[in-house]
Amino acid sequence: MMDDIIREDIGRIKGAVKGDFFEAKKVLVTGGAGFIGSWLCDVLVDFGAD
């Protein structure tokens, strides 16, 4: 379940980043199993990151 605050923050991040910036790039996220890290990973995948 996504909290409204997190949904708003993710929307701001997506709006601030150029759409193809992460396309086909490899990104290393440490702490990806945690709460914020897992949401960050989801956003990066939405942007097309590997």
Domain count, the chain: 1
| Secondary structure (H, E, C), the chain | CCCHHHHHHHHHHHHHCCCCCCCCCCCCCCCCCCHHHHHHHHHHHHCCCC
Residue-number span of the structural domain to which 38 is assigned: 4-46
Length of the chain: 50
Query: What gap in Å lies between CA 32 and CA 5, rounded to an integer?
Result: 19
Tokens encoding 13: 């991040």
pLDDT tier at 21, thresholds 50, 70, 90: confident
Question: Closest by alpha carbon to 32, among 43, 40, 24?
Answer: 40
On the question of pLDDT at 50 being above 70, the answer is yes
On the question of pLDDT at 19 being above 80, the answer is no
Answering whether pTM is above 0.85, one says no
